[in-house]
Amino acid sequence: MTLGIVLVGRNEGARLVRALAALEGVEARVVYVDSGSTDGSVAAARAAGAEVVELDTSRPFTAARARNAGFAQLEVGDAPEIVQFIDGDCALVPGWLEAGQAALDADPDLGLVTGWRSEIHRDASIYNALADVEWHRPAGPITVCGGDVMVRADAFRQIGGFDPGLIAGEDEDFCLRLGAAGWKLLRLPRDMTRHDIAMTRFSEWWRRMVRAGHAFAEMGRRHPGHLAAERRRVWMNMAALALLAGGALAGLWPLVALAAGFFLLSYLRTAHGLMRAGQPPKEAAAHAGLLVLSKLPGFWGMLTYYRRARAGQDAELIEYK
């Protein structure tokens, strides 16, 4: 089957150069979609031989809008039968394209395949390491995945592509609609991309968790039942925090102890789960702390979505880099 590649980015700098270099020698049309970069990304993509689409700056940028624009560009001329989408901070692993194409070719009911993403500089920060853990999910049939995916073009057309109005969770929304349309989704047990989140500051991680909370809430409205457990954990943690603060202010120390016990139990269970998954104790302990704390920015992100939705406001992009 014929292949097209859509690479999307905004001010990725050296990461985009690395992504483009990984595509050298690939027999496929490569389209780079730029969302208002000011760092020479457009020139770098053209120098690498990619077709370039520069999004109109008068409309809000979203990854979904960029991916749709890249697919539309591939439709001009000889449209490919399958499309590999890649984020600009990722580089394809050798052999992935062949493996993905073979899987789609072998099963006509398969609409999408993905693989494993891993961090290039995993140990550069606790945030990088936590992201690396997040990327590794079991192989086999799936219901959702991230934005680095290989998609059958007919399946993409059938559901109308990504929803350009989503500022987060657009990849999960796409997958859920694809599955609802009768297509199968599969994660292959092999590396697909190397990612460079380059996250070194707590503030960056915090904003990323706010963005995740926004996605939790919006996906709940669009796809009832999806991410229900994640939303429930956020509400439970906020309730416990309210009890902790209220008990302390009122001098109700048994209530404070109860709420503190909830957080301690949550932390211990999370750390134990990470260690059972193979993380070293010291790393698991640090990651468990962040995962428990993440409910706070996640709650703020959920509230942000509910407030905007109630007011009928368009969502604004939440950038963490």
Q: Measuring CA to CA, which residue among 49, 12, 51 is closest to residue 31?
A: 51
Q: For residue 311, what pLDDT is reported?
A: 87
Looking at residue 303, what is its pLDDT?
96
Residue 112, burial from CB neighbour count under 10 angstroms (0-12, 13-18, 19+): buried
Domain parsing of the chain, residue ranges = 3-198, 203-311
- Max Cα separation, the chain? 72
Fill in the amino acid letter for 38.
T
- In the prediction, which pLDDT does 315 show? 72
CATH, range 3-198: 3.90.550.10
User: 5: helix, coil or strand?
Assistant: strand
Closest CA to 87 of 130, 145, 38: 145
**Centroid of chain to Cα 120:** 17
Query: What's residue 15's pLDDT?
Result: 92
Q: Give me the pLDDT at residue 317, please.
A: 77
Q: Mind listing the pLDDT tens digit for each residue in 267-299?
A: 999 999 999 988 999 999 999 999 999 999 999
State residue 78's pLDDT score: 87
| Per-residue model confidence (pLDDT) at position 45 | 94
pTM, 2 dp? 0.92
Which residues in the chain show pLDDT less than 70?
none
N- to C-terminal Cα separation, the chain: 36
Q: What token pair was written down for 104?
A: 């789609």
How confident is the model over 232-249, as pLDDT tens digits?
A: 999 999 999 999 999 999
pLDDT of residue 144: 96
Task: Decide if 179 contacts 194 (C-beta within 8 A).
Answer: no
Angle of helix 170-180 relative to helix 63-74, nearest 10 degrees? 60
